[in-house]
């Protein structure tokens, strides 16, 4: 069974709420220590991307329990979209004088990261992280 | 939530209690900039020990604050970066290079005191 929570992201305070909720879900799934910080930071980056570039959207956070436990974060907006996704995923690329590390950074924090965007039709980011199986613990 | 700023000897200590919004970071920058002038402060310690995330925005904000304070004649030391936060930053490709860091408040104050003696 998959439990999904959808959080509306429009204001800056929603970024904090999204990453706090994501951390709670990640803890429930069984993530610990630095993985929690990685997940919370990745959520923070995609949520900020929505607030800054799209003005509003939603973040869906799911516990993945089919097979290996993990967490899935979907960030969806109906903003202007990204003209050149490949360019936007390059380090240091920014249209708003930020560090340009948000999306490429989030990709480095998670196990899976896909981004789909169409000019005028918004952007969807899907990212997943799986619990690392400890040697000797099955 | 505003960030408490304490004056300790010739230095100021700002302790960030929790995740800050853009507006709060801006307010912290303005407040520190003003108080550096009022107290003729030569050094500021910013304690981020309570922050569970230092994302690209927060990192950039700390850098901006340090740059502004530098122009006002004060050095900034960032202290208290948590181990898992440091790990996440490195994985992301973020760093605080160009900024002074120290393990904790004590270390930060020692760093500022030493800087004073040598300059």
CATH classification of B5-118, choosing from 3.30.750.24, 3.40.50.720, 3.90.1150.10, 3.40.50.150? Answer: 3.30.750.24
Task: Kindly state whether residue A138 falls inside one of the protein's structural domains.
Answer: no
- Do B94 and A105 make contact, defined as CB atoms within 8 angstroms? yes
Q: Is the pLDDT of residue A114 over 70?
A: yes
pLDDT for position A138: 43
Q: How far apart are CA B34 and CA A49, in angstroms?
A: 31
Half-sphere exposure of A32 (CA within 13 A, CB side): 4
Closest chain B C-alpha to A80 CA, distance in angstroms: 21
What is the per-residue pLDDT across B51-84, written as a single tens digit (0 to 9) for each? 999 999 889 889 999 999 999 999 999 999 999 9
Q: Is the per-residue pLDDT at A3 higher than 70?
A: yes
Q: Is residue A13 part of a domain?
A: yes
Domain at A41, CATH number? 3.30.565.10
A→B interface, C-beta within 8 Å: 12-13, 16, 19, 23, 33-34, 36-38, 40-41, 44-45, 48, 91, 98-99, 101-102, 104-106, 108-109
- For B3-22, what is the mean pLDDT? 89
What is the per-residue pLDDT for A87?
A: 82
Residue A85 lies in a domain: yes
* ipTM confidence: 0.87
- Structural domain includes residue A137: no
Q: Where would I find the H helices in B6-104? A: 22-39, 56-71, 83-92
The pLDDT of A36-63, averaged and rounded, is 94
pLDDT of residue A136: 52
> What is the tally of structural domains in chain A?
1
In the sheet with B75-79, reading across from the earlier edge strand, the strands are: B5-8, B11-15, B43-47, B75-79, B100-102
Distance, in Å, from the CA atom of A45 to the CA atom of A35, rounded to the nearest integer, reads: 15
The domain segmentation of chain B, as residue ranges, is 5-118
- Residues of B within an 8 Å Cβ radius of A: 19, 21-23, 52-57, 59-60, 82-85, 87-89, 91-94
Structural domain harbouring A49: 3-130
Pairing state between β A57-64 and A70-77: antiparallel
């Amino acid at each position: 069974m998959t439990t999904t929570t959808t959080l509306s992201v429009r204001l800056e305070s929603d970024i904090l709420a999204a990453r706090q909720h994501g951390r709670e879900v990640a803890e429930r799934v069984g993530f610990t220590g630095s993985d929690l910080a990685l997940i919370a930071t990745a959520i923070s980056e995609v949520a900020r991307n929505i607030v800054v570039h799209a003005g509003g959207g939603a973040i869906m956070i799911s516990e993945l329990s089919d097979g290996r436990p993990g967490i899935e974060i979907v960030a969806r907006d109906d903003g202007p979209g990204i003209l050149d996704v490949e360019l936007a995923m390059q380090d240091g690329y920014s249209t708003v004088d930020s560090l340009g590390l948000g999306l490429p950074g989030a990709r480095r924090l998670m196990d899976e990261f896909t981004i789909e965007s169409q000019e005028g039709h918004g952007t969807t980011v899907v990212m997943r992280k799986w619990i690392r199986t400890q040697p000797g613990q099955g | 939530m505003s960030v408490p700023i304490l004056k300790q000897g010739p230095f100021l200590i700002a302790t960030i209690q929790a995740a800050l919004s853009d507006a709060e970071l801006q307010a912290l920058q303005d407040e520190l900039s003003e108080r550096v002038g009022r107290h003729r402060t030569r050094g500021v310690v910013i304690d981020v020990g309570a922050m569970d995330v230092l994302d690209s925005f927060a990192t950039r904000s700390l850098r901006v604050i340090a740059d502004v304070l530098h122009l006002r004649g004060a050095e900034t030391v960032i202290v208290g970066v948590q181990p898992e936060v440091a790990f996440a930053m490195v994985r992301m490709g973020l760093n605080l290079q160009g900024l002074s860091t120290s393990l904790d408040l004590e270390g930060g104050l020692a760093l500022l005191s030493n800087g004073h003696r040598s300059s």
